[in-house]
Structure 1
Amino acid sequence: MSDWRIYRGAGVPHEGVRGLPEPPPWRDFAGTGTGTGAPDGGDGPGGVDGVDTARRLGAQRRLVESLHPRPEEVEAVNAALYLRRPLLVTGNPGTGKSTLAHAVAHELGLGRVLRWPVVSRTTLKDGLYHYDAIGRLQDVQLDRAAADGPAGPGAARVRPPIGSYLRLGPLGTALLPAPPAGPGEPPLPRVLLVDELDKSDIDLPSDLLNVLEEGEFTIPELERIAEREPVTEVLTADGTKVAVEGGRVRCTVFPFIVLTSNGERDFPAALLRRCIQLDLKPPGDKQLAAMVTAHLGEEALEEGSELVERFLRREPGQVVATDQLLNALFLTQRASGAERVTRDRLAEMLLRPLDRPR
């Protein structure tokens, strides 16, 4: 019987970690695993991050004819696209809220998804732009020190323009239109994922209202110098440079925005009326089978049918995320040479309900 363990707890140093197999496809950040890489489809605006797309949607996604989204999910996405409104997606952890943004970007060829992860300290400005005032002050002090030094005033170096200290955030970048896919074609929208909005400070959802409604924002640091520098080049979240006129970023093509929430708090009515709302249900039989096949292949679906059935027949209201099932399928496959009791123990550990008291 082969030993699947890398760490054995024996306290004796060894080089077993050199035999660590390839990571699960959804944890392969380098794209080195079998079947990873960009899914089928051409490059879209903003560039296609093939590794990230394959990691989130499934390295073997091309083997699945359809991921069987529910009609209400397709309708909500189309409503958001037609009406140029954000899509507020609510659901339990692991139901595919974040993946929805990547799926839309992949199918429509809209390029890399801009991601804005929200935490309790996140402010609206974090999403719009960042100004490195300290870096600029340090450069000014270095210039003065060089000018006052033995080499004299001529030693002062050329100070970088103010745009060198500015970088647009994910939301600020999303409001800029992506370049056209080809000559004569209209610019396409970017895709922005605002992840876990319910983790934010109480003011952030309300602060978002004006930007989402007007599709523009100002950069005060550039507005103050607009008369002498009407156009300033700044960095985007993609790492490219764009020209900002008069210190104002104006949206010409409203982005496809996905706001995700675990349902842990209520949002103000003013935000809700500006969004298309979608309550994402846990995946059913077809969706789950397609998801497992996309990530692990049909063989894993057949061999792990018992775990899949256990996941589908869990107690009503019990919260178990789909990535927990994928983890269990992957690891129990790797531990196929271990005793049955070991595989059962691993499955029990990995499929522990998220709402179960410790």
Structure 2
Amino acid sequence: MRPNDVPPPEGNWRLFRGDGEPREPVMPPAPPWRRFTGVPRAEDQAEAASQSPPEPPPVPRYLISPKHADVVNAALHLRRPLLVTGSPGTGKSSLAWAVARELGLGDVLRWPINSRSTVQEALYRYDAVGRLRETALQREQGEYGPGIGSFVRLGPLGTALAPRSRPRILLIDELDKGDIDLPNDLLTVFEEGEFEIPELARLREEESAIDVATDHAGETTTVVRGNVRCTEFPVVVITSNGERDFPPAFLRRCVPLQLPTPDEEMLRAIVTAHLGAGVLAESEDLLESFLQRRAPGELATDQLLNAVFLRTSGADLSADDLLDSVLHQLGGTV
């Protein structure tokens, strides 16, 4: 019998062995930061019903210093966007979820920015072609076409500005990846807290109130005379990797927060918060290697978490090729 034919011992981390032999190993628990909430298929649910449901992992506390937390509070009180900058892995995006969870603001609306992003698409989308086709089909069948509200959907920014008693929280992720004019395009929306949907503003008086879908699944909001105006200005968290400067007019309307690169003490606290205090004693070499590799180049904190988690899963990280793959420099090629 070849060594590869021997089934791995229980707890062995090698799910894939590269021997071409089919097997159905039990998938181990995912890292706490890579667990999702999708609903499994009916047949999977039936199988899972016969097993003990797994305990949901505790949500790790977001680690932030009091002085940086005070900057967040300043933005909350002033109803101004929070512009968060810092190196990769410093927790810029995670801050939005931490604020939402602690203040009970519900799900985070996320607008990931790329070079083609526009304020228009983040506010709303109108499917004119779909409405035309659906209306023609319904008329052929002697029925009335669907209302225009069925073809309007608010984007993440538009949903954040929809009126409600408590503010939404909106994450505008990596704004510096957008077009150079994008920050200026946001100024009017941030100042006025409202926008117009011209396709709805042109409707007759008896159609002045239209229900439209939002960026939150299954939720609708009523738009009156095409105007969307917030009741409470949303909590806006804007992240930037510092790849370019923003115009002064935009910066004046934001509260800036620079998150520092975690030092050794903070790294220990982060590992403890995500994986428990018990793993620190077994991870001193990984922490030391991370700090040494971070000095000449750029590494993210979650790379350290990945290495420690693999160690707890049984991986042998003493081999340089595996450790190099996990702690690879972000500024170069992989």
Q: TM-score, normalised by structure 1?
A: 0.80
- Residue among 190, 193, 206 paired with 2:168: 190
- Residue among 53, 56, 59 paired with 1:36: 56
Cα deviations across residues 17-63 of structure 1 (Å, max 9, x unaligned)?
Answer: x33312211111138995536xxxxxxxxxxxxxxxxxxxxx352xx
Cα deviations across residues 307-333 of structure 1 (Å, max 9, x unaligned)?
Answer: 123334545463110111111111122
- Residue among 6, 31, 39 paired with 2:15: 6
Q: Is the contact between residue 89 and residue 277 of structure 1 (CA under 8 Å) also seen in structure 2?
A: yes
Q: Is the contact between residue 68 and residue 286 of structure 1 (CA under 8 Å) also seen in structure 2?
A: no
CA distance in 2, matches of 1:60, 1:249: 34
- Residue among 154, 164, 181 paired with 1:168: 154
| 1:354 pairs with 2:333 | no
Aligned partner of 1:84 in structure 2 is 79
Aligned partner of 1:43 in structure 2 is none
Residue identity matched to 2:21: P
Aligned partner of 1:275 in structure 2 is 254
| 1:96 pairs with 2:84 | no
CA distance in 2, matches of 1:31, 1:292: 26
- The change in CA–CA distance for 1:69 and 1:30 in structure 2 (over 3 A counts) is same
1:197-216 matched pairs, under 5 angstroms? 197-216=175-194
Residue identity matched to 1:201: D
- Residue among 100, 113, 117 paired with 1:118: 113
Aligned partner of 1:255 in structure 2 is 234
Residue identity matched to 1:347: L
Residue identity matched to 1:13: E
Aligned partner of 2:26 in structure 1 is 19
How far did 1:120 drift?
1.1
SS at match of 2:331: coil
Q: Is the contact between residue 86 and residue 241 of structure 2 (CA under 8 Å) also seen in structure 1?
A: yes
Q: Is the contact between residue 69 and residue 287 of structure 1 (CA under 8 Å) also seen in structure 2?
A: no
CA distance in 1, matches of 2:214, 2:152: 9
CA distance in 2, matches of 1:307, 1:86: 37
CA distance in 2, matches of 1:171, 1:317: 39
Cα deviations across residues 266-290 of structure 1 (Å, max 9, x unaligned)?
Answer: 1111111110011111123443233
SS at match of 2:84: strand
SS at match of 2:100: helix
- The change in CA–CA distance for 1:273 and 1:317 in structure 2 (over 3 A counts) is farther
| 1:69 pairs with 2:77 | no
Residue identity matched to 1:251: C
Unaligned runs of 5+ in 2: 1-7, 40-52
SS at match of 1:97: coil
Q: Is the contact between residue 79 and residue 234 of structure 2 (CA under 8 Å) also seen in structure 1?
A: yes
Q: Is the contact between residue 109 and residue 171 of structure 2 (CA under 8 Å) also seen in structure 1?
A: yes
CA distance in 1, matches of 2:321, 2:81: 43
Q: Is the contact between residue 85 and residue 276 of structure 1 (CA under 8 Å) also seen in structure 2?
A: yes
- The change in CA–CA distance for 1:317 and 1:70 in structure 2 (over 3 A counts) is farther
1:136-155 matched pairs, under 5 angstroms? 136-144=131-139, 146=140, 155=141
Unaligned runs of 5+ in 1: 38-58, 147-154, 179-186
Residue identity matched to 1:258: V
Q: CA RMSD in A?
A: 2.3
Instruction: Give the share of equivalent positions with the same residue, in percent.
Output: 52
Q: TM-score, normalised by structure 2?
A: 0.86
SS at match of 2:289: helix
SS at match of 1:271: helix
